[in-house]
Amino acid sequence: MVGGIRLAYESARARRRGGGLALLALLLMATAARAGESSEASTSEATQAESRRSIPLAKIDPQFRPAVAAVLADPTIFRRMPTSVVDCRPELFTFLAQNPEVMVEIWRHLGVSQVTLTRLDERTCKLSDGAGTTGTIIVVEQTCEEGAQNRIVMLANGSFEGKPFQQPISAQCVLVLTSGSKEETNGRRFVAARMDAFIKLDRMSLALVAKAVHPFVGQTADRNFTDTMLFVSNLSYTAEKRPEAIEQVAIDMKNLDQPRRQGLIKAAYQCAEAGREWELSRTRQASLETTNR
């Protein structure tokens, strides 16, 4: 079953393409058996304005508020990635959204990624993709409620060094992850999530380059967000069927601290319990239908 997760991730990874700007737009989003639906991406002024209004600046820590406001006021690039809807337990999704280093460590443990996401404190992680992109991600505001009714606002500072650029480029990003969930008619829980990205490059020449390649960068970011959601969905399905396999993975991941290791194990067994309840409900429903015939 864990091998199935590895294959799902490798299949998704094989479709990934992109250079420095794509990594700035994507890898700084380290925030998932089937992507059920997907809305269109948007870069419109109206969507950007709506996204900006959804960010509660008054709730953001004063030490980060000026930086967030500066990016929101004059982004080089704005993009709302397509909304992805996947079969996934809301509890697991919220745990991974709040602890993205857990998912990154799973990828490393499975041998399918060299990306590192190191937690520096409860709100800050340091990122490196091993291919020229480095940065920090700071959670500046989050509201997470039952049923994966989440809003997580992040401030990312990143840089990329490598081809095709002659010198390092850097950017600040404000990333907004929003999600929700609903129960479908068959009793399964589905999570819908989207990511808005405000990206501000620090030099006018690079801003012009970024705008020129934005369609390519945006498509890469869209694919990677959808692939990540697919991976989370596969992880949820595995936890339903074999929570002990997820528990063993958690135990084996030496770079994961104990609270997050225990959090992953707890989420896995919550998925398994919900799966058993769903199977029982389906059995009862089938029995009732047979009796009523």
pLDDT at 35 > cutoff 60? no
Please report where in the chains the tokens 């129960």 appear, as a residue: 183
Q: Is residue 249 situated within a structural domain?
A: yes
pLDDT band at 37 (very low <50, low <70, confident <90, very high): very low
pLDDT digits (tens, 9 = 90+) for 250-263: 999 988 999 999 99
Q: What is the pLDDT of residue 243?
A: 96
The overall average pLDDT reported for the chain is: 82
Q: Is residue 290 situated within a structural domain?
A: no
More confident residue, 177 or 32: 177
Q: How far apart are CA 87 and CA 188, in angstroms?
A: 7
**Full-prediction pTM beyond 0.75?**
yes
Q: What is the pLDDT of residue 36?
A: 40
* Element housing 50 (H / E): helix 45-54
pLDDT at 73 > cutoff 90? yes
Q: Region 162-171: what's the mean pLDDT?
A: 72
Backbone angles phi, psi at 189, to 5 degrees: -95, 130
Three-state DSSP state, 236: helix
pLDDT at 57 > cutoff 90? yes
Q: What is the pLDDT of residue 66?
A: 97
pLDDT digits (tens, 9 = 90+) for 144-160: 999 999 999 999 998 87
Number of Cα atoms under 13 Å in the Cβ half of residue 68: 24
For residues 9 and 110, the answer to whether their CB atoms sit within 8 Å is yes
pLDDT band at 207 (very low <50, low <70, confident <90, very high): low
* 84-87 vs 77-80, strand pairing mode: unpaired
Q: Which residues pair with 170 in a beta bridge?
A: 159
Number of domains in the chain: 1
Q: Which two tokens stand for residue 41?
A: 């991406």
Which residues, other chains included, contact 3 with Cβ-Cβ below 8 Å and sequence gap of 6+? none
Q: Is residue 289 situated within a structural domain?
A: no
Please report where in the chains the tokens 């990003």 appear, as a residue: 173
Q: Which two tokens stand for residue 16?
A: 């990934």
pLDDT band at 7 (very low <50, low <70, confident <90, very high): very low
Q: Is residue 292 situated within a structural domain?
A: no
For residues 237 and 75, the answer to whether their CB atoms sit within 8 Å is no
Q: What is the pLDDT of residue 213?
A: 56
Q: How far apart are CA 193 and CA 236, in angstroms?
A: 15
Greatest CA separation found in the chain? Answer: 73
Q: Which two tokens stand for residue 28?
A: 């700084």
Q: Is residue 64 situated within a structural domain?
A: yes
Q: Is residue 279 situated within a structural domain?
A: yes
Q: How far apart are CA 14 and CA 100, in angstroms?
A: 21
Q: What is the pLDDT of residue 34?
A: 32
Please report where in the chains the tokens 């420095």 appear, as a residue: 20
Strands (E), 49-119: 77-80, 84-87, 116-119
Instruction: For the chain, give the percent of residues with pLDDT over 70.
Output: 80
41 secondary structure, DSSP code: P
Q: What is the pLDDT of residue 76?
A: 85
Q: How many CB atoms lie within 10 A of CB 32?
A: 25
**Between the CA of residue 51 and those of 56, 79, 108, 113, what are the distances in Å?**
10, 10, 33, 31
Q: Is residue 167 situated within a structural domain?
A: yes
Q: What is the pLDDT of residue 147?
A: 95
pLDDT at 68 > cutoff 80? yes
Q: Is residue 268 situated within a structural domain?
A: yes
Full domain range(s) for residue 144: 2-283
pLDDT at 3 > cutoff 60? no
Q: Which residues pair with 126 in a beta bridge?
A: 118, 136
Residue whose C-alpha is closest to residue 183's, from 273, 250, 90: 90
Q: What is the pLDDT of residue 19?
A: 36
